[in-house]
Copies of this chain bind each other. A is one copy, B any other.
Amino acid sequence: MTPYAGAVHVSALQTPALVVDADALAHNLATMAAALPGPRLRPHVKAHKTLALAARQAAAGHPGFTCATIREVEGLAAAGLGTDLLLANEVVDARRLGAVADSGARVTVAVDSDETVDAAARGAVHEVVIDVNVGLPRCGCDPADAGRLADRARRAGLSVRGVMGYEGHLMTEQPRATRADKTESCMELLLRASSAVGGDLVSGGGTGTFDVNTWVTEIQAGSYVLMDTAYGALGLPFRQALGIEATVISVNRAGWAVADCGLKALGMDHGDPTIEGASVWYCSDEHVTFSCVPLPRVGDRVRVTPAHVDPTVAYHERMHVLAADGTVTETWPVDLRGW
């Protein structure tokens, strides 16, 4: 787990290298655990896909996890982190999930249609939540259909733990008061569905609404622990912990430099990454071109901050945890990638 422990400095890492600021990570874990202690947070592992980091979240007091893929569920269960795993996503073939439940982990899957209810039953997953659409055009049933789906699930022998609804379209809504108001409207839909469905779980929220969504019983935030520039713009109490250490490989006296951190090291859907004190021009497969004054020298290191944490992490095989002096204290495999 820690092949570089102690001895190696960040400046000796092969680049591009995913790096995590240990202090910022500890701050984010502690801040969230204070705000949403224990099961009030169900950390979403899709943001980091890293078992060692999930173990840190469990050690911070959060017993359950939110997952986006079956592989995340399998990995957490195999690592002994399967106390309460929610696959907050629909699947039409639940057999691998049933196998995880058979192994002794607690597995709950989201359902939003007759087909996904039936798949859960066929796959021998015993517990479901009804996924309710609260405004984001993605998964989730019509709120008015939630009670009927719960009845169908119970008739199929499934235990219905409650509801979930993700207000993902509001995560970066500004200002905060507007975000809170709109979240309330979404959660009214979810609570009405909850009344029809029964059960004690009302799951939802994310990093952007972790402190304004006071209606759910648990928040599914994931990005808070590593952060990115998109969430960083919201003024949340979490610090930027994730970066990519890159090496300057070319400098052009016409006014730009190139570092070895490109499209295959960065989730790009939220736009270009940032480099402090520099202007990022564009990224190509293995390069970021940028300008700054003065220009760096070939061989210098730069720290690249991604715009979107989740698809960035999914490109990397490992992440290195750095002490304040740049020493690599731990190296964690990003072991929940793929499907």
Contacts and interface: CB of A to CB of B under 8 A. Distances in A.
A25 interface: no
A281 B16 contact: no
B68 A339 contact: no
Contacts of A91: 249
Interface in A134-168: 137-140, 142, 168
A322 to B, nearest CB: 18
A55 interface: no
A138 B269 contact: no
A122 to B, nearest CB: 12
A78 interface: no
A286 interface: yes
A133 B252 contact: yes
Contact of A139 (B247, B250, B268): B250
Contacts of A254: 137, 142
Interface stretch (A57-65, A208-216, A311-319): A311-319
B137 A252 contact: yes
Interface in A253-281: 253-254, 256, 258, 260, 263-264, 267-269, 281
A264 B310 contact: yes
Nearest to A247: B92
Interface in A66-125: 68-69, 89-92, 112-113, 115-116
Contacts of A264: 310-311, 314, 337
Given A46-B286, A284-B138, A269 B263 contact: yes
B112 A250 contact: yes
A283 interface: yes
A289 interface: yes
Interface residues of A, number: 56
Given A264-B311, A310-B263, A298 B116 contact: yes
A23 interface: no
A227 B263 CA distance: 17
A131 B258 CA distance: 14
A92 to B, nearest CB: 5
Nearest to A250: B139
A240 to B, nearest CB: 20
A269 B283 contact: yes
Given A263-B310, A286-B68, A311-B264, A137 B249 contact: no
B298 A138 contact: no
Contact of A113 (B256, B298, B316): B298
Given A263-B310, A285-B311, 5 more contacts: A46-B286, A90-B250, A269-B283, A314-B315, A317-B338
21 contacts: A68-B286, A89-B260, A90-B249, A91-B249, A92-B298, A115-B297, A115-B299, A138-B250, A138-B289, A139-B258, A139-B287, A142-B252, A142-B253, A168-B284, A263-B269, A264-B310, A268-B311, A269-B283, A285-B311, A314-B315, A316-B338
